[in-house]
Amino acid sequence: MSPATTTRNWWDHAVGYEIYIRSFADGNGDGIGDFIGLVDKLDYLAWLGIDVVWITPFYSSPMRDWGYDVANYIAVDTTYGTLDDFDAVVERAHALGMKVIIDIVPNHCSDQHEWFQHALANPTGPYRDYFIWRDAAADGSLPNNWVGYFGGPTWTLDEASGQHYLHMFLPEQPDLNWRNPAVRDEFEAILRFWLDRGVDGFRIDVAQGLIKDEQLRSNPQLAPVDASMHRWEQWDCFEHQHDILQPETLAIFQSWNDIAAEYDALLLGETYDLTSLDRLDRLVSGGDALHVGFWFGAMHLDWTAESIRSTFAQPIDGISAGLGWAQNSHDEHRSVTRFGGGDVGRRRALSLAVLLAGLPGMPFLYQGEELGLANGIIEAEDKLDPVGGDDLDAGRDGNRTPIPWETGDGMGFSEPGVTPWLPFGGRTEADTAAAQRNDPDSMVHRYRQLLRVRRTISHIADAEFEWIELSGESSSDVVAFRRGDIVFMANVSSDATPSPLTGEVLFATNDEGRESRTMLAPDEARIVLVLDP
């Protein structure tokens, strides 16, 4: 009998890295990250051990939502450079052995996009149906009860025509009508445009939301909405039956999958939903639609064994393949901050990175995570994110502050004397990539070591995920699971705790861990090769 062979995709054991381009590296000294800055830093990412970079939107945009409001999908915003500069990024990344995926934003465009401008100017013209329009209800109320991801109603009146248009985000981000075949054709051409330029795939913004209920029925309401609620609380007042994860979405991604296959490209969905596993499963697990869908639980978990276990178990049990994992992004407060900040926050974030590195699927880091960065400190007058109104804490600026590459004015992000678009937010020398590269005990070296070790155990991609059952004290203090002969474990308590299994320690978050086989230090995580599983 011939041994079973597994067909591998290039992303099956890959590690991704999110580049929020505006805050990564400024090459032309205007205080805003760009392609010239980015190209110079690709060596650093290769050194770190990254396989795939995901670049956030760089298309021409009025920047109401910092590029997630696209005015032209096949043009580079001059803020970030030119198409030639983009090509140079792809070329250099490929030369270093890294793949490049770009962020495509198909759910909505900018109100400045010519499609929307035509739709406004000519309500009977062909572009009107690129968007979703409804008359107000007979009593003058809004067409339905949907709330947006940023909170508040999803309908804005176009006074000229007397109709409302739908927007799941800002009014400046009108939703596209994916039931219109012309919209599908437009995007298939856009995908090909970038694939022909050499990109290796797409991170698909709001992948769960492209298609809406045909009749735009109101969602079942679970609790009353109060305008003062945080945006997620408003969202959670409804069961999202009609606005997201509609069955017709599958056909869109199946068609994209055919195109991607021609180029061996990756389709990675921003499948933001934590409740409808059954509806999400079909989009990713068959491999004929999205290849990978992000599971966002790791951005919301508490540092307890119970919370971590249930966060992992939910998608692993409910979605059979194709998971992407991240504990940080440009949308959430940084995990070091969420876990309490300082050394404790950093320790926990690194330990969570160890666990994510062992889960089935694709782990992603977010720029600066490998430096152990907490949120940057933003003052009220510096708030730029439209989300959250005056509520600083609800905004995303603190997790988007520029990367501190070096000490000194400009922090190696920009030239000395230049004010960055967002403040650095209180970075110290110890936060900088330069200082950390000189210190073998720094976070950046630990992350690098973690990624190196992960590369050496690629066979886990074929191994089942199995929980290691724990009893007594360990069950509330330790999270542990196995992938074949490799065990991943973390002590979530603030006390030293006996290790549930011993073996050859391949990686430990602290040095003592490498020496003491039997005890796990507070918040320590390890990767262990167990010889007699």
Q: Residue 206's binding partner, choosing from Ca ion, ligand NOJ, none, with beta-carbon cut-off 5 to 8 A by kind?
A: ligand NOJ
Q: Long-range contacts made by residues 331-334, C-beta under 8 angstroms, separation at least 24?
A: 331/396, 331/399, 332/299, 332/396, 332/399, 333/375, 333/398, 333/399, 334/366, 334/368, 334/369, 334/373, 334/374, 334/375, 334/398, 334/399
Q: Does 366 bind ligand NOJ (CB under 6 A)?
A: no
Q: Residue 30's binding partner, choosing from Ca ion, ligand NOJ, none, with beta-carbon cut-off 5 to 8 A by kind?
A: Ca ion
Q: Active site includes 188?
A: no
Q: Residue 32's binding partner, choosing from Ca ion, ligand NOJ, none, with beta-carbon cut-off 5 to 8 A by kind?
A: Ca ion
Which residue in the shown chain puts its C-beta closest to Ca ion? 34
**Contact with ligand NOJ (CB under 6 A) among 63, 76, 105, 460:** 105
Smaller CB separation from ligand NOJ, 205 or 370:
205
Helix axes 83-95, 35-48, angle to 10 degrees: 10
Inter-CA distances, 176 with 182, 196, 251, 394, Å: 11, 24, 16, 27
CA atoms within 13 A on the CB side of 497: 26
Contact at 8 Å (CB) between 411 and 389?
Answer: no
Smaller CB separation from ligand NOJ, 209 or 513:
209
Contact at 8 Å (CB) between 99 and 14?
Answer: yes
User: Rounded distance, CA 365 to CA 353, Å?
Assistant: 8
Give ∠ CA 186-259-274 in degrees, rounded to 5. 85
* Per-residue contact flags (x/-) with ligand NOJ for residues 318 to 337, judged by CB under 6 A: ------------xx------
Smaller CB separation from Ca ion, 28 or 72:
28
CA atoms within 13 A on the CB side of 398: 20
Chain positions 17 to 46 lying near Ca ion, rule: CB under 5 A, are: 26, 28, 30, 32, 34
3-state secondary structure 196-210: HCCCCEEEECCHHHC
Q: Does 243 bind ligand NOJ (CB under 6 A)?
A: no
* Per-residue contact flags (x/-) with ligand NOJ for residues 184 to 213, judged by CB under 6 A: ---------------------xx-------
Burial class (CB in 10 A: 0-12, 13-18, 19+), 397: buried
Q: Residue 281's binding partner, choosing from ligand NOJ, Ca ion, none, with beta-carbon cut-off 5 to 8 A by kind?
A: none
Closest CA to 486 of 462, 517, 509, 518: 462
Smaller CB separation from ligand NOJ, 148 or 322:
148
> Which structure tokens are listed for 476?
């509330």
Task: Report which DSSP code applies to 135.
Answer: P
Smaller CB separation from Ca ion, 23 or 509:
23
- Could you write out the DSSP letters of every residue in 439-452? -TTSHHHHHHHHHH
Give me the catalytic one of 196, 262, 381, 464: 262
> Which structure tokens are listed for 20?
């929020």
Which residue in the shown chain puts its C-beta closest to ligand NOJ? 68
Smaller CB separation from ligand NOJ, 173 or 337:
173
Contact at 8 Å (CB) between 357 and 488?
Answer: yes
Q: Does 490 bind Ca ion (CB under 5 A)?
A: no
Q: Does 65 bind Ca ion (CB under 5 A)?
A: no
Closest CA to 26 of 387, 524, 409, 395: 409
Contact at 8 Å (CB) between 277 and 322?
Answer: no
Q: Residue 105's binding partner, choosing from Ca ion, ligand NOJ, none, with beta-carbon cut-off 5 to 8 A by kind?
A: ligand NOJ
**Alpha-carbon dihedral sign for residues 219, 221, 226, 232:** negative
Q: Does 91 bind Ca ion (CB under 5 A)?
A: no
Inter-CA distances, 202 with 345, 514, 518, Å: 31, 39, 44
Q: Active site includes 332?
A: no
Minimum distance from residue 268 beta carbon to ligand NOJ (Å): 12
Give me the catalytic one of 65, 85, 175, 205: 205
Minimum distance from residue 366 beta carbon to ligand NOJ (Å): 11
Q: Give backbone dihedrals phi and psi of 491, rounded to 5 degrees, phi first.
A: -95, 115
Smaller CB separation from ligand NOJ, 169 or 421:
169
Closest CA to 198 of 49, 109, 92, 48: 92
Q: Residue 331's binding partner, choosing from ligand NOJ, Ca ion, none, with beta-carbon cut-off 5 to 8 A by kind?
A: ligand NOJ
Minimum distance from residue 246 beta carbon to ligand NOJ (Å): 18
Minimum distance from residue 517 beta carbon to Ca ion (Å): 50
Minimum distance from residue 71 beta carbon to Ca ion (Å): 19
The three-state secondary structure class of 431 is: helix
How many residues form the binding site for ligand NOJ (CB under 6 A)? 9
Smaller CB separation from ligand NOJ, 34 or 270:
270
Q: Does 55 bind ligand NOJ (CB under 6 A)?
A: no
H or E element at residue 454: helix 443-456
Q: Does 65 bind ligand NOJ (CB under 6 A)?
A: yes
Minimum distance from residue 332 beta carbon to ligand NOJ (Å): 10
Smaller CB separation from ligand NOJ, 69 or 477:
69
Chain positions 244 to 303 lying near ligand NOJ, rule: CB under 6 A, are: 270
Q: Residue 524's binding partner, choosing from Ca ion, ligand NOJ, none, with beta-carbon cut-off 5 to 8 A by kind?
A: none
Query: Which residues of this protein are in contact with Ca ion, per CB under 5 A?
Result: 26, 28, 30, 32, 34
Query: Which residues of this protein are in contact with ligand NOJ, per CB under 6 A?
Result: 65, 68, 105, 169, 205-206, 270, 330-331
- By annotation, the residues acting in catalysis are 205, 262
